[in-house]
A and B are shown apart, each in its own frame.
Chain A
């Protein structure tokens, strides 16, 4: 139980698209910072510290680009640090912002970032360079092939089919139609997915997220500031992360502690976040899940790991509409999720923005009624970094022994 209660009092994102020809990287980050501060009703002077969310800089092409952005996000002269955990960056940056406040060190923190994944045509080349130069770099590993490996293993374990994954894509694109910020959206069919060009078995092009550009930001505060500024904050009630070894081959087979196909680091992190948040029955207590699912095959192992259903059950429940935005047992990715929008350095933060806005009643056309608890996840590296953040409309009981 943390020392100080932490709340999201403002959360915002820009529109996401492949290219932002009319803005530079730092202008994009600035847009999100401004939007979030406006949402929170705070001025830059009221921000005590800034956490910058940015994954590998090779996509946008300026080393340590957080330094370039310092003044634009009103960070100059302030405590300022950058968090980087690959795809899990946004989730980890939010959790870093959380400890700034939960520790009692600061009262109000801006967590902000931007990415421009399509600034280079060499994105998957860069995502190959993340692999170890000696042992794994040569084998055409990138985020597509790596997750295809896990998906093929998941299919073999639980019998999920390509068509069942395709249904996840159809649902995501449909949900995204109500999200003005989403990159890919629209009414498509299972056949459209199945007939898109094959990339790496079992993936077709539509099973894979786009390369997105855009920015996101969140204003976090302690309870006192939240009471002054926000009628309905989204309290950060649980934060947890799990890191695995980079070597995927260590996470398979009879000698492994964990199962690569199950994304089970996410499961461990989720149950720690639930413990902090007082969640004992996730399927009934959580109304919204914003998942980091850049590939159609991520959703099933993740919702299973989050405890919404048993292992191997998610595909069948998906077929029956169990993860639908309206009428499902848990609304999974009402925003359309990462499959529709993936600005890597801030994707985890976008999940927080979407989940927090559902709690704060600011999710626009996709707003769901009665959202008391929402979970936001992120994943990165060789699907080795996992973060889980629990948001709620009420805070957990404050510590009594302060």
Chain B
């Protein structure tokens, strides 16, 4: 796959971005990505959007947000799974060779509506909604099942969270959450056992935009400097119904990484300089690392991942933006010298029903 990110922007995160209408958040981020790429909107021939109506509190949120995402009188397509799924779709659109220069825009402003109530309504009405599932409850189920399978417990999760906050604390683009004392994590209230409140990555508002180009466009615009190449993409869904195998098997996570690496011609995760994981809780971080055991990349979640910022839905695409900064030597104090190849991971749905992976390479 030969698709290139030539510019990007990530909005400054906040627990609640209260001073902007959603439309302004999207425009400002898109405008900044175009400026970073040094191209005008007039040059863009298509737009890909990743957005979630229910989180935005709008029945068809792209009605309002397509134009500020640069899509006025352009060929625009929207997926609703996750920001990183949007990057996979955008990469295929360019690889199909009907377009040359695109915008990929994704946003999430969970502060607009009670997130867990929106998640609760993802339950079908017959079997699960009367009982009541949401993100935290399914993550609690996952934590128990994965812990039993891979041999970790909540004390290990306390340490994993602490470690994530330490990495996040070094990332100047994150929220700058204070690193909590391990005791504070261990005594925070249970949300859904064994998951405690402090095991969860705090939800934030945010937006991210990328300018993405075909190889053909780069050839005819030699002055443009690509930040990174997208060389592999993978995304898979697992079953909606939660059983022990579905929860702890992590088959979607494994298959997604395999798909993306295979397309990029990379043999193993051990050949990666960086893997940015979308770990919504400390238990997720432990489970993903357990799967990678023996084939660990050189670095994992250097940015701090969801503990740096977590605009739920966009977090995987933020991981991609962080990986792209590493591959273009723009990661600042957390730069991995000479990083050549990275994978951004994203997850979505109850107990990561969906997983996404994108292989990015230095140009």
Contact = CB atoms under 8 A, between A and B. Distances in A.
Interface of A: 1-4, 24, 26, 55-58, 61-71, 75-86, 92, 95-96, 98-100, 102-105, 126-127, 129-130, 132-134, 239-246, 257-258, 265, 268-269, 272, 276, 380-382, 384-385, 399
B162 to A, nearest CB: 32
B349 A84 contact: no
Contacts of B4: none
B233 interface: yes
A174 B58 CA distance: 37
A75 B239 CA distance: 8
A3 to B, nearest CB: 5
Nearest to B96: A102
Contact of B241 (A62, A71, A257): A71
A375 B76 CA distance: 19
A44 to B, nearest CB: 14
18 contacts: A56-B53, A56-B60, A66-B80, A67-B349, A70-B240, A78-B237, A81-B81, A84-B62, A85-B60, A86-B63, A102-B98, A105-B92, A105-B95, A130-B58, A130-B60, A243-B74, A272-B75, A381-B66
B31 to A, nearest CB: 16
A99 B78 CA distance: 13
B59 A399 contact: no
B76 A385 contact: yes
B289 interface: no
B77 interface: yes
A146 to B, nearest CB: 11
Interface size class of B (residues with CB under 8 A): 35 or more
B97 interface: yes
B8 interface: no
Given A127-B59, A244-B73, A77 B259 contact: no
Contact of B77 (A83, A258, A276): A83
A307 B252 CA distance: 47
B290 interface: no
A380 B124 CA distance: 26
Contacts of B77: 83, 85, 92, 95-96, 241
A258 B73 CA distance: 9
A70 B239 contact: yes
B63 A381 contact: yes
B60 A81 contact: no
A71 B252 CA distance: 13
* Residue among B67, B263, B349 with most chain A CB within 10 A: B67
A68 B240 contact: yes
Interface in B40-75: 47, 52-54, 58-60, 62-64, 66-67, 71-75
B333 interface: no
Interface stretch (B115-123, B149-157, B218-226): B115-123
A56 B59 contact: yes
Central interface residue in B21, B66, B118, by most chain A CB within 10 Å: B66
Interface string B333-348: 0000000000000000
Contacts of B91: 103
B269 interface: no
Given A68-B124, A76-B238, A84 B73 contact: no
A243 B72 contact: yes
Given A79-B259, A243-B74, A130 B59 contact: yes
Contacts of A2: 96-98
Contacts of A104: 95
Chain A CB within 10 Å, residue with most, of B96, B123, B240: B96
B59 A85 contact: no
Contact of B121 (A63, A126, A382): A63
Contacts of B241: 71
Nearest to B263: A105
B125 A76 contact: no
Interface in B229-281: 233-241, 251-252, 255, 259, 263
Nearest to A95: B77
Given A62-B125, A129-B59, A92 B73 contact: no
B350 interface: yes
B145 interface: no
Given A56-B59, A80-B81, A82-B79, 17 more contacts: A24-B124, A56-B53, A64-B349, A67-B122, A79-B235, A79-B236, A84-B53, A99-B92, A129-B59, A130-B58, A133-B58, A134-B21, A241-B77, A242-B75, A243-B71, A258-B73, A385-B62
Nearest to A56: B59
B354 A63 contact: no
B250 to A, nearest CB: 12
Contacts of A102: 96-98
A76 B237 CA distance: 6
Contacts of A243: 47, 66-67, 71-76
B93 A99 contact: yes
